[in-house]
Amino acid sequence: MAGVLAGCGGSGDSGDVTLKLVAADYGDSAANSSKKYWDRLSKAFEDENPGIKVDVTVLSWNDVDREVKEMVKKGDAPDLAQIGAYADYAAQGKLYEADELLSIATQADFMAPLSQAGEVKRIQYGMPFASSTRLLFYNTKLFKDANLTPPQSWSQLQSAAKALKARGVKIPYALPLGPEEAPAETLMWMLSGGGGYTDNVGSYDIDSKQNAKTFSWLRDELVGKGLTGPKAPGRMNRAEAFAAFSRGEVGMLNGHPTLMKMASKKGVKFGMVPAPGINGKPRATMGVADWMMAFKQNGHRKEAGKFLDFVYSKKNVLEFSNEYDILPVTTSAFDAMAKDRGHTELGKFLKELPTSQLYPVGKTSWAQVSADIKNNIGKTVTRNGNPSMVLGQIQSKAAAAENAE
């Protein structure tokens, strides 16, 4: 693999430039691998831009971040990488700024929450490539049998969970705070309680009063009342929760668009609503994004910028989003998808995107803080758990890591 990816530069004496791109695979089989998308896009770009070739390597999500990290470490950075995180490379001075690459029109077209999440110290290095939001999924058959309507507040969610438990539902509400994706479930609940990972100026605020109140409520009113199933939330992972929902064993859980396909394949009928807040719909839901970045090493700023302007055209963003049931990252593609698919199931996720809040991915400390959350957040909701203390410990480490940036 290293031999394939290494060595970027011009091709012989022709004066041509070959851009090396490493991208993540969004497909779940060879039949719908992202490689097919990139091959089509690269050929169309090369036809319009003689003198610039694009060499694309597509790797699974299990490997792509690690492979790019190894390439950079060896001094063989690709020109472009479409992976999960950018902040470490930006902090090391290895990336071009977005405004060094993109036309003004392209940069201005990014959805505001996603563009801001791509900034380090107010300069954008990470270009959002794919995005998603979360909704509350509920099993419509279980709800109908219990004569329930979708919850809009925490108290309604608890009442629904109690009714489902009384009818023998194995997991009334799935609360995956296990290490796989605990930061996501954590942020969704923090936002629904009026808190979040950061304060208004972007500093970590993990142990805020709102967050402590949120996890105290979860401990006492959901987990403590036996409404989250037989397995401790700190040991339940998202994949396990999704699989249980797809078997019809879960009444409610927070999910992303992938769960629609999983549940439909298994014949589980479901509905989706915005995640309930403490007293109604929260002001923001959680959003996530994957990132595109351009490395300085090979000096192909102009060529990389030209290719990225092509990548982020409305047509190409829409094609990728529609292919993989993910949300577009540009306003032009968002408007087009909203017009075309606003009344579909994916349209429900789309509506949440403009007010979504993302992880603080612009902080180089976030990877360390995220790992700490994965390891410890489940302790807040155990029988003798102390949310204020656990959140305080996570905050203390986060603040120290942030100060070291």
* Local confidence pLDDT in tens for the 405 residues of the chain: 333 333 333 333 345 999 999 999 998 778 889 999 999 999 999 999 999 999 999 999 889 999 999 999 999 999 999 999 999 999 999 999 999 999 999 999 999 999 999 999 999 999 999 999 999 999 999 999 999 999 999 999 999 999 999 999 999 999 999 998 899 999 999 999 999 999 998 999 999 999 999 999 999 999 999 999 999 999 999 999 999 999 999 999 999 998 998 999 999 999 999 999 999 989 889 999 999 999 999 999 999 999 999 999 999 999 999 898 899 999 999 999 999 876 788 899 999 999 899 999 999 999 899 999 999 999 999 999 999 999 999 999 999 998 887
280: left (phi over 0), alpha (psi -120 to 50) or beta: left
* 3-state SS, residue 31: helix
Q: Which of 355, 362, 363, 359 is nearest to 111 (CA)?
A: 355
> Letter for the amino acid at 319?
E
In the prediction, which pLDDT does 188 show? 97
Give the C-alpha separation, 139 to 129, whole Å: 31
CATH topology identical between 2-131+288-355 and 135-285+365-403: yes
For residue 404, the tally of other CB atoms under 10 A from its CB is 9
What Rg value do the Cα atoms of the chain yield, rounded? 22
Give which of 170, 242, 169, 254 is closest to 218, Cα–Cα: 254
State the pLDDT at residue 15.
58
* Three-state SS at 139: strand
Q: Where are the domains of the chain?
A: 2-131+288-355, 135-285+365-403
Q: What pLDDT shows up at residue 366? A: 94
Q: Would you state the CATH architecture of domain 135-285+365-403?
A: 3-Layer(aba) Sandwich (3.40)
Distances (CA, A) of 251 to 44, 61, 256: 46, 30, 16
CATH class of 2-131+288-355: alpha beta
Amino acid, single-letter form, for residue 204: Y
Angle at 7 between CA 313 and CA 300, to 5 degrees: 40
